[in-house]
Chains A and B, each alone.
Chain A
Amino acid sequence: MSEIPSELRYTKSHEWVRTLPDGSVEIGITDHAQHSLGDLVFVEVPETGRRLAAGDACAVVESVKAASDVYSPLGGEVLAGNPALATQPELINSDPYGQGWILRLKPAAGASVAALMTSDAYQAEVAAGG
């Protein structure tokens, strides 16, 4: 069974969102997602300063098997992509909610983390085969 931390928020497309103390957010893909993808071998993170709308494809994660887009759960401005993923894409496999974070975002005015799925809702979504 995959790990779904209760303090994070989630999307149907298997991203997670963590609110940081300064009000910015950290985004990655869930344990369920990394497990479905298999061994990751390449990650393309967004450039700092890029403006994203909610739902925009903002990163690409590639496993040995296939490439998948990562969609931004919120609108905002990219503060950073995780530089460690350039040489260690496998961090997403080994620590999807920690060292495997993909980008940090300054949410746009009105962007609401609270409107995203709770861990319980995401758990139900995964259980339903989403």
Chain B
Amino acid sequence: MGKRTPLFELHQAAGARIVDFGGWDMPVDYGSQIEEHHAVRRDAGMFDVSHMCAVDLRGAGVRPLLLRLLANDVGRLTAPGKALYSCMLRPDGGVLDDLIAYYLEEKWFRLVVNAGTADKDLAWIKEHAKQIGVAVVPRRDLAMIAVQGPKAREKAAALLPAECRAPAAALGAFFAAPGDEWFIGRTGYTGEDGYEVMLPSESAAGFWNSLQSAGVRPCGLGARDTLRLEAGMNLYGNDMDETVTPLESGLAWTVALEGTRDFVGKAALEAQRAAGPPRKLAGLLLLERGVLRSHQKVFAGDAGEGEVTSGTFSPTLERSIGFARVPAAAPAQVEVDIRGKRLPARIVKLPFVRNGRALIEL
């Protein structure tokens, strides 16, 4: 048996199919992954993401600590509540994890890290934090519910605690309204508008049920995966890990190399950028029937070979899409080995879908 979130029994009672995800027993769908996917693109859906780990960092040294630990530049965070997406790197540039950092107060930042990497991340952060006098507090007392879709904020608004409603309504994209207990971020992992709500574990079931009564559909990790893929968002462990750098993972935009700030992994990334990264992460659209899956081999002509890192059937496009790590010089059209057949696929600019609309030509 894996670890369970405060909502596990609700998922079970709702007939969810439960799978192991990073050591947690999580709902993969509640019947139809495709219908759940469409609910988020067209209306509103919610995900139990309590397996992810919120980590509070408190102390005068918190900003200097994150300036050193994160590849993106928390110096850019000047407005309280602002969030930043970043990778945390090894000295050789390999990706330890990707995370969201929220700047709340000068002595308080909150990170949200992946479930499967949380222990490793905490050990790494603590090792650096102790030299600088920052307290590292994992918030396993909090549950996390992502409410996503064009109608998500509207449907969730009245269900928040009274004192959170006005701050939540006023949130700009990628901002959070912090509280020590209820914490509402206008962030997500679906390519749609919405909130990610952290709240006390004991309040989670009540909030979940009230959202469902307001017409927000429970969605599993299956729909979360197809939504994030359409939205062009990486999944740690699939699309990047410790063996690759952000520059080879479509994440150069999250790395702040300019200026004198020195962060863990910077020298390695500068060297790789100067030499030219040998590989890149590309969006793929399969041109024939079939489904791209991770680990399928990609043939990029004279440029060499690569591998699909994530693949699925896109419910919005009704085609198969994926990401592949391919040689930097890969041509616009490649071939993918799907069960012994080489099928053509086109390299496309990400994302595939954003705010309910297809952004690529089929």
Contact A41 B32 (CB under 8 A): no
User: Complex formed: what's the CA distance from A65 to B339 in Å?
Assistant: 16
Q: Which of A28-54 contact B (CB under 8 A)?
A: 38-39, 41-42, 44
Q: Are B29 and A62 closer than 8 Å at their CB atoms? A: no
Residue of A nearest to B226 (CB): A64
> B291, A38: Cβ atoms under 8 Å?
no
Q: How far is the CB of A37 from chain B (nearest CB, A)?
A: 10
Q: Kindly state the separation between the CA atoms of A86 and B290 in the bound complex, as whole angstroms.
A: 10
Give the residue of B222, B289, B290, B293 whose beta carbon is less than 8 angstroms from that of A38.
B222
A41–B315 Cα distance when bound, in Å, is 9
Q: Closest residue to A42 on the B side, CB-wise? A: B291
Bits for B110-141, please: 1 = Cβ < 8 Å to A, else 0: 00000000000000000000000000000000
| B233 interfacial by beta-carbon distance below 8 Å | no
A-B interface contact total, Cβ < 8 Å: 37
Is B50 located at the chain interface by the 8 A CB criterion? no
Which residues of chain A are within 8 angstroms of B290 by Cβ–Cβ distance? Answer: 42, 44, 62
Contact B289 A42 (CB under 8 A): yes
A64 touches B293 (CB 8 A): no
Pair B33/A38 contact, Cβ less than 8 Å: yes
Chain B residue at minimal CB-CB distance from A65: B222
- Is A126 positioned at the interface, with any CB of B under 8 Å from its CB? no
Q: Are B291 and A41 touching (Cβ within 8 A)?
A: yes
B32 touches A65 (CB 8 A): no
The size of the chain B interface, using a CB distance under 8 A, is 17
Consensus secondary structure, chain B interface: mixed
A121 within 8 A of B: no
Cα of A42 to Cα of B293 in the assembled complex, Å: 13
Most chain A beta-carbon contacts within 10 A, residue among B290, B291, B339? B291
The answer to whether A39 and B33 touch across the interface, beta carbons within 8 angstroms, is yes
Cβ contact within 8 Å between B315 and A64: yes
A60 within 8 A of B: yes
Complex-state Cα separation, A39 to B318, whole angstroms: 13
Interface centre among A44, A60, A62, A66 (most CB of B within 10 A): A62
Whether, in the assembled complex, A124 has its beta carbon less than 8 Å from a beta carbon of chain B, the answer is no
Whether A67 is near chain B, meaning CB under 8 Å from some CB there, is: yes
**Interface membership of B313, Cβ < 8 A:** yes
CA distance A39 to B17 in the complex (A): 13
Q: A interface vs B, CB < 8 Å?
A: 38-39, 41-42, 44, 60, 62, 64-67, 86
Known: A41-B291, A64-B222, A66-B293. 4 other contacts (CB 8 A): A38-B32, A44-B290, A62-B291, A64-B313
In the complex, 21 of the A-B residue pairs with CB atoms within 8 angstroms, ordered by the A residue number, are A38-B28, A38-B32, A38-B33, A38-B222, A39-B32, A39-B33, A42-B290, A42-B291, A42-B313, A62-B291, A62-B313, A64-B33, A64-B34, A64-B312, A64-B313, A64-B315, A65-B28, A66-B293, A67-B291, A67-B293, A67-B339
